[in-house]
Amino acid sequence: MSIFVDERTKVVVQGLTGGQGRFHGLRNRDYGTQVVAGVTPGKGGTDVEGIPVYDTVAAAVEATGADASFVVVPPRFACDAILESAAAGIAFVVCITEGIPAQDEALTYNRLKQEHPGTRLLGPNCPGIISPGKTNIGITSGDIALPGGPVGIVSRSGTLTYQALHELSQQGVGQTTCVGIGGDPVPGTNFIDCLAAFEADPDTRAVMMIGEIGGSEEERAAAYIAEHLTKPVVAYVAGVTAPPGRKMGHAGAIISGSQGTAQAKMEALAAAGVTVAQNPTEAGEMMVEIVKGLG
């Protein structure tokens, strides 16, 4: 199985007629994803290589039965696009847009929780989600993913998401689902959401978790793992050598005082029974050994 999305998921691409939307939307379709529609206000009635374009998400949903959205629009339009999808009844929204102000992210997150509790947001500023061999929504290359499980991956870092997939695939270890949650301060989906879904998925037998400096999400995940997870977890936390007070890559990747350090996160995870790696390659090697032991 997979979590959140599968081969039955029908995707509408908001921004399909733009350069990035077209490129990634068509790549997703080429992978096998059911990309059933695009949305660009004012361009309804046109198409992009056979994918019909509508003026609104509501019109696209009515015509195609889409239940997921891929948001590829500039920062000033992204929050409205997310909320438009939710209002149209879309259950799963992937937003790869970066540069959205944290205040706008927080407002959007809270509006979703209060007004559209049936909609899950992945992102913003994330690589998306891939269930190898089934569906790919976002910017992750399908070439580095291997179907067949048994490992689920959840990562704050986009680049390390790709490395985790590649490291495991090179060793012949498949993945059930790989979720890039993004590194912004207010993610729509967090570690615990994904860990809970992997725990409930019978085909996911082990989990790889990739964190980074900043915030307390990894410590919260560690507490959740200690209480609720029965499956082995391998973790890597990026940013051991990051200087305090300097943002490293993501808007959320900043150490403030004694909070958010890689060392503190690694210690919390180790105390929860997680196998903690010192680098991404070691994380892959550790997971390969764990999978061998699963039989």
250 is catalytic: yes
What is the C-alpha to C-alpha distance for residues 37 and 20, in angstroms, rounded to an integer? 15
Contact 79, 85 (CB under 8 A): no
The answer for residues whose C-beta is within 8 angstroms of residue 113's C-beta and 6 or more apart is: none
What is the C-alpha to C-alpha distance for residues 180 and 160, in angstroms, rounded to an integer? 9
Catalytic residue among 24, 116, 228, 250: 250
* Structural tokens at position 93: 């929204």
Measure CA of the first residue to CA of the last residue in the chain; give whole Å. Answer: 19
Pairing of strands 128-131, 120-122: unpaired
Tell me how crowded residue 295 is: count the other CB atoms within 10 A of its CB. Answer: 5
The gap from C-alpha 18 to its chain's centroid, in whole angstroms, comes to 22
Is the sign of the CA dihedral 96, 97, 98, 102 positive or negative? negative
> Would you give the DSSP letter of residue 135?
E
What SS3 state is found at 28? helix
What is the C-alpha to C-alpha distance for residues 178 and 165, in angstroms, rounded to an integer? 8
Closest CA to 5 of 177, 187, 198: 177
What SS3 state is found at 127? coil
User: Which run of H or E residues covers position 115?
Assistant: helix 102-115
Mind telling me the catalytic residues? 250
